[in-house]
Amino acid sequence: MENNKIKFNKFYKTFNLASALLVLISIFFLFFKGLNFGVDFKGGTLIELRATDKQINISSLRNAFSNMNLGDVAIKKFGKEYDYLIKFEKKDSDQNLIQNIKNELTKKLGSGYEIRRVENVGPKVSAELLKGGLIAIAAALGAMLFYIWIRFEWQFSIGAIAALFHDVILTMGFFSIFSLEVNLSIVAAILTIVGYSMNDTVVIFDRVRENLKKHIDIKIFDLTNISINETLSRTIITSVTTLLALLSIFFFGGEILKGFSLAMILGVIFGTYSSIYIANPILVLFKVSYKTVSKEEKD
């Protein structure tokens, strides 16, 4: 069997450099531009509206909302042609807010619209949700760290964790650069990415470990390449089936799941790439050898 079909290891350096650059760009954007938080994390009100009267459009909506004293009102199309998403940050919690808005809208636009969804999150709750989301991501990373720590030698752990951070940072960086909305479901997507990235790395690492014992004479640089090639068809098939599922959510699962599935699509792509080009070069960097895996084996 040809175990060395593709020379992945020839490009370790090039891709490491590219990754480092992308990570830096992502961090730069996360730091200076930040994330576009949705109402879950920023607080405020979101209204999804469907116009049954075809005369209603963005400018007439903007006009209607302009003198309701709601502060900055963002209005955009949402999926289907006559669906709109209206967002604003109004801090005081007026219980009649939605009713007042409905009355005003009806006065200006007539009754040719339908409110399909309302989300109103107070500042206290949004701060808690953000904190909860960060805790969840930290807990997931911590749990993965722990799992890797009991499961592998430290060189492997560092490789897997580096790949993990790479994937999470790039995904979030992407959301920052393109100002995509970050809400609760993005946190769920990131946790799933964490799981997937780990899963992909661990499968290759398992093979590296097995091969270290099988081919004592082969250097780690080539050994990683053999292992990547041996697991390559699995890596590709699983990525493809997962992406097929995610793409069908993205295209057909409705507007609400768009950001969520996009984050996961990115995560799967980054995760697959990083298992090969981040996790493995780190094993090379630490000069992992037969000795690394043999001294901790009890049997």
Partner 1 sequence: MLYFSKLRIAFILLVSIILTFFTLSNFTNFENNIIDKKINLGLDLQGGSYLLLEIDNTPVIIKELQNKSLQIKNLLKEKNLNIKNIKVTDDNFITFISESETINEIEKIFNDKEESINPYYERFKSFKYDIYVEENLFRLQLSKYGLIDLKNSSLDQAIEIVRRRVDEVGTNEPNILKRGNDRILVELPGLDDPMRIKNLLGKTANLTFRFISSTSDENFGTEKIEFEDGTEIANVSKRIVLSGENLIDAQPRMDNQNNQTVVSFTLDRVGAKRFGKATTQGVGQRLAIVLDGKIISAPVVREPIVSGAGQITGDFTFQTATDLALLLRSGALPAPMNIIEERTVGPDLGEDSIKAGIFALIIGFVLVISFMIFKYRIFGLIANTALILNLFFLVGILTLFEATLTLPGIAGIILTVGMAVDANVLIFERIKEEKFNEKNQIVAFDSGYVKSRTAIIDANITTFIAAFILFFLGSGPIKGFSVTLGVGILTTLFSVYFIARMLTAMYLMKNKTREINI
Instruction: Name the site residues for partner 1 (rule: CB under 8 A).
Output: 1, 48, 50, 93, 95-96, 98-99, 114-122, 124-125, 129, 132, 135-136, 139-140, 143-144, 147, 151, 184-185, 187-188, 191-192, 194-196, 198-200, 202-203, 206-207, 230-231, 233-234, 237-238, 240-249, 251-254, 256-257, 260-261, 264
For partner 1, the closer CB: 73 or 264: 264
Q: Least CB distance from residue 121 to partner 1, whole Å?
A: 5
For partner 1, the closer CB: 18 or 139: 139
Q: Least CB distance from residue 217 to partner 1, whole Å?
A: 19
Q: What are phi and psi of 84, to 5 degrees?
A: -130, 150
For partner 1, the closer CB: 29 or 101: 101
Q: Which two tokens stand for residue 263?
A: 């984050």
Distance CA 271, CA 201 (A): 8
Q: What is the DSSP secondary structure assignment for residue 9, as one 8-state letter?
A: G
List the helix and strand counts (H, then E) for the chain. 11, 6
Please say whether the beta carbons of 223 and 217 come within 8 A: no
Q: Least CB distance from residue 19 to partner 1, whole Å?
A: 21
Q: Least CB distance from residue 157 to partner 1, whole Å?
A: 13
Instruction: Report helix angle 12-32 to 154-177, nearest 10.
Output: 50
Alpha-carbon torsion (3, 8, 12, 13), positive or negative:
positive
Distance CA 159, CA 225 (A): 15
Q: Least CB distance from residue 38 to partner 1, whole Å?
A: 12
For partner 1, the closer CB: 14 or 248: 248
Distance CA 42, CA 127 (A): 7
Q: What is the DSSP secondary structure assignment for residue 215, as one 8-state letter?
A: -
Q: Least CB distance from residue 46 to partner 1, whole Å?
A: 9
For partner 1, the closer CB: 12 or 196: 196
Q: Least CB distance from residue 207 to partner 1, whole Å?
A: 8
Q: Least CB distance from residue 21 to partner 1, whole Å?
A: 28
Please say whether the beta carbons of 39 and 119 come within 8 A: yes
Distance CA 297, CA 299 (A): 6
For partner 1, the closer CB: 29 or 268: 268
- Give the DSSP H or E segment for 111: none
For partner 1, the closer CB: 63 or 93: 93
The CA angle 255-99-130, to the nearest 5 degrees, is 50
For partner 1, the closer CB: 184 or 285: 184
- Give the DSSP H or E segment for 94: none
